[in-house]
Structure 1
Amino acid sequence: MRREILLAGVALTLFGATDASAQALRSGQDAQIDLFVRNRAVAVRDRPQPAYDPLGIRAGGFTAFPRLQSGVVHDDNVFAAEDNRQPATTLRLAPEVVVRSHWSRHALETRARAEIDRNLDFDSENTTDWSLGGAGRLDIVRGVDITLAADYAHDHEARTAAGAGPVARRPITFDLASASLAATRTRGRLRLRADAAVLRYDYRDGPNDVGAVIEQDDRDRTIARLTGRVDHALSPATALFVQVARDDRDYRIVSGSPERSSSGHEALAGVDFELGALIRGEVAAGYIRQDFKDTAYSDLDGFSGRARLSWFPTQLTTLTATAARSVEDTGVIGSAGALRTDVSIGVDHELLRNLILMTEATWSEDDYNGLNRTDTRFAASFSAVYRLSRRYGLTAGLAYLDQSSSGASAGPSYRSTRLSVAVVSQF
């Protein structure tokens, strides 16, 4: 399903995808003596399905995995409006191809993807998004590797994105270029990791309902982030860690617009653990602070933390709970950022070998800096994946979103329900 919280979600996706790509690329390495591997249990979504997983198209040392998803999405409030809710139906086509190496050392992965939406009721909601990216891992010596990743995407801000305004005639589009570099060294009970990432957002202006231009240049920005982490293994199933991070958010200066540039720091201490094949997770707590250049905006600071716990009551069921607190950029006029709190819980169940059911509930709160405004969002979803064969499958999903906003500068409050069905073809 499409990302709903897009503005902050893209940045988080990059950092998260960088880690995920690194882990996937590292899967070919010998991990027998790695005290930081947590694989006693396999999550439902990660479990191999030899009878249904695509074989791909091999070419030399690479394998290509083409995929095409064709579907229909019905939204009962396509403009995320408080009143005068408008239902609409969208046809969606999402082609994708992933190419992975299968070398004995080092690894390389590239990806190209598009998502083409054509709304049957409102032409203004037609969008074409695409992205290109890749990641590579260099195995220097045993226990030392370097991972590089780069992506370029043309995307749009969903009507239901956190902080999105309802006045644009068409969804606001933007380009995102990103690059990251990560180095990891593991030796005995100690693991050191350093990450550097740069993201560049370039927003496009858009017209409002009466045809006037909505200026978006003041949202253009470059984000540079450095992260360092040290893990110490107490046992093969438990490790303590300390992580520090710094980010600089350099906004484009536009005449008549406030300066929204800032720099931030975060320090976390936590534990990464696995209790047999029943529970694994990571919990950390610390302090976060974001300092803004414009004195009109007060600095944001306070408790920071994140947690991810997975429970495996049976081999066929996975329960996952997450929580996080962070400082996020915002497109809301008059605000330089928001202190966000996210909590979610999800259940995945393998009802049949080829039928997986998934449900998730999330709650988030954005406390805006510079405005007397707080947004609270509750979302719930249910989806199913049914694999007919290696090449074909069906997906269906139902998602509900409820946003409420309070304060003297309160934003829109609305509800939205989406139903989607799709056919998946892969090789």
Structure 2
Amino acid sequence: MLRAEPLPGIIADPTLPPKDSLLRGSIDPIVPDTTIDPLTGRTLGADAERPFRRSAQKEVAEEVAASPGKSAQNDENPASDIVTGALPPRGPDAAARASRVPAVGQDESMEQARRVGGDDIAHEENPFDPLGIRAGKFIFYPSMETGIEASTNPYRNAGGESGSRSISTLRLRAQSDWGEHEARAEGFATFEKDLSRGRDDILRGGFDASLRYDFIDGYALNAGVNWRAERETGSSAAGPADIANDPLRHDITGTLGVSREVGHLRLETEGKVFRQIYGDAELGDGTVRSQKERNSTLATARIRVGYEISPALVPFVEGEFGKRYYDEQGGDDMDRDADRYALRGGIAVDLGEKTKGEIALGWLTERPEDDRLSDVSGFSVDGRLDWSPMRGTLVGLTGSTTVESTTAFGESGSLLYALRLNIEREVRHNITAGLTLGADWRDYITQDAGEQKLLAELSATWWFNRQLGLTSRLSHERFTSDLPGRDYDSNSIFVGITARR
């Protein structure tokens, strides 16, 4: 049986849930059209924000501006502020809340009357929230986590043996304090060292940045850049199976878009360029094999039209078209360049700080230039929903549909459906807990085969003070495939120290 080659993708930050390297281990990770934040499961980079609609908070801010005697404080529902603590105000209602946010470094308590779930609750600033470091109009949040993981299958490979490894991660997050405009950035670097069998050290990292700039007359500019770099396992690389090294892969995404409000219409257009670069693979006999035929560039354009039936509900339709280009033609002498099309319809919900998100249903396809290759097409479901049912609790649900192209002989690719549920709870001021549940399903187009992955992770952090905490994670992963030699199970426990500012 011919073996399809899944494409690489999201690179998970092992220090924070959820683990977003989808279907990793004996197969390539996958790159969906949107990247999932490893802490909250929200979409990062270019698709992180789609501010083409006027939010409920903006309605409140406009009403307060028109009525100076009215208290804006009594018109908001900042459930997430209670969790994030020292984070600066942001979004359309930032100006209305700026005067009520404590200065960075301020350590005294601050009583605020908050309406959460319809109840007036006096909220005291969490004394264990990070203060951050203010530099001009930006606030920086550095952190470091280091610890030991013991696992029955630490590298998630078929037939993998138990072992342990040390995992250390440096992270730096930056948030602007500009009022109406917003800029965000986050970078991380993770170092893994095998403590059992002397496996090669692994270094990976990533960077995300996004910018929203509001112009006059309802115009807004949205831009983003995303970069990830990691090592592939030998069993997931293209070519012969006897690969001795772990080839390096780079995933780079850049986006630029403009949104406009015209009465009740919400208009948005966005361009995206996604680039994948693969390093050389060293074979078991010492020879080096180039993987340049796997390098590709996907350029797309998306147009969305929405109609605001209320400040909280905006139904929309959107179309997407683009082209995938390969640097070199593969050994099977097939032209794998492909045209990309998508049509979706959905609804965006904005109920203030309580509930936000959107869901879109449609059809997604990539059509290779070579007639001998089948189209990679199927039903698509994409969306995210953030919900705060009570003070100190955040629930996030995300889903994505991805076209995976491939350079395997005679194969077109596959479709990947991914779902993540993340729950974060502030048990006490100094104890935070999290639960992540996930399910992935891959459907091969030219083979009667599929692959499934189920994962669950429970995490907790006990903060000694603002700067230092004890972190632990317990996780389980189960991967099953219709293709032989891919199934695996993994149970892991991680214990470490987290330091932050």
- C-alpha distance in 1 between matches for 2:82 and 2:493: 22
1:425 Cα deviation from its structure 2 partner = 1.4
1:156 Cα deviation from its structure 2 partner = 2.4
C-alpha spacing 1:417/1:265, structure 2 compared with 1 (3 Å): same
8 Å CA contact retained: 1:79, 1:166:
no
Matching residue's letter, 1:305: V
Aligned to 1:144: 219
- C-alpha distance in 1 between matches for 2:185 and 2:252: 15
1:280 Cα deviation from its structure 2 partner = 5.2
C-alpha spacing 1:307/1:113, structure 2 compared with 1 (3 Å): closer
Matching residue's letter, 1:283: I
58, 79, 95: which one aligns with 1:42? 79
Structure 2: runs of 5 or more not aligned: 1-12, 15-19, 37-42, 64-75, 87-124
156, 165, 183: which one aligns with 1:80? 156
- C-alpha distance in 1 between matches for 2:342 and 2:227: 27
Matching residue's letter, 1:191: R
C-alpha spacing 1:30/1:284, structure 2 compared with 1 (3 Å): closer
Aligned to 1:249: 324
8 Å CA contact retained: 1:164, 1:331:
no
- Cα deviation, 1:361-415, whole Å, max 9, x if unaligned, reads 2222111233443111111111123333221223221222111111xx5451111
Aligned to 1:127: 202
1:311 Cα deviation from its structure 2 partner = 5.0
User: 2:493 matched to 1:419?
Assistant: yes
360, 365, 389: which one aligns with 1:289? 365
- C-alpha distance in 2 between matches for 1:396 and 1:69: 11
327, 332, 339: which one aligns with 1:263? 339
Of 207-216 and 146-155, the range deviating more from structure 2:
207-216
TM-score, length-scaled by structure 2:
0.73
Matching residue's letter, 2:252: A
8 Å CA contact retained: 2:361, 2:380:
yes
Aligned to 2:143: 67
User: 2:381 matched to 1:381?
Assistant: no
- C-alpha distance in 1 between matches for 2:180 and 2:392: 33
Aligned to 1:176: 251
- C-alpha distance in 2 between matches for 1:206 and 1:394: 39
Aligned to 1:367: 443
- Cα deviation, 1:141-185, whole Å, max 9, x if unaligned, reads 253221222344432236898999975433331123332112122
- C-alpha distance in 2 between matches for 1:34 and 1:168: 61
8 Å CA contact retained: 1:239, 1:272:
yes
1:41 Cα deviation from its structure 2 partner = 6.5
8 Å CA contact retained: 2:34, 2:400:
no
1:242 Cα deviation from its structure 2 partner = 0.8
1:424 Cα deviation from its structure 2 partner = 1.6
- C-alpha distance in 2 between matches for 1:60 and 1:168: 49
- C-alpha distance in 2 between matches for 1:164 and 1:281: 41
1:126 Cα deviation from its structure 2 partner = 1.2
- C-alpha distance in 2 between matches for 1:130 and 1:288: 30
- C-alpha distance in 2 between matches for 1:114 and 1:357: 24
Structure 1: runs of 5 or more not aligned: none
8 Å CA contact retained: 1:132, 1:152:
yes
- Cα deviation, 1:86-135, whole Å, max 9, x if unaligned, reads 22222222222234432346444444431111212344441112334543
Of 410-419 and 107-116, the range deviating more from structure 2:
107-116
SS of the residue corresponding to residue 345 of structure 1 reads strand
User: 2:488 matched to 1:401?
Assistant: no
Q: Give the number of the structure whose alpha-carbon radius of gyration is greater.
A: 2
Aligned to 1:336: 412
- C-alpha distance in 1 between matches for 2:460 and 2:337: 42
User: 2:60 matched to 1:32?
Assistant: yes
- C-alpha distance in 1 between matches for 2:383 and 2:237: 22
* Alignment RMSD (CA, Å): 3.5
In the comparison of the two structures, how many residue pairs are matched? 418
1:307 Cα deviation from its structure 2 partner = 4.2
SS of the residue corresponding to residue 234 of structure 1 reads coil
C-alpha spacing 1:4/1:305, structure 2 compared with 1 (3 Å): closer
User: 2:391 matched to 1:354?
Assistant: no
- Cα deviation, 1:201-229, whole Å, max 9, x if unaligned, reads 11012224554545422211111121121
SS of the residue corresponding to residue 298 of structure 2 reads strand
Of 143-152 and 358-367, the range deviating more from structure 2:
143-152
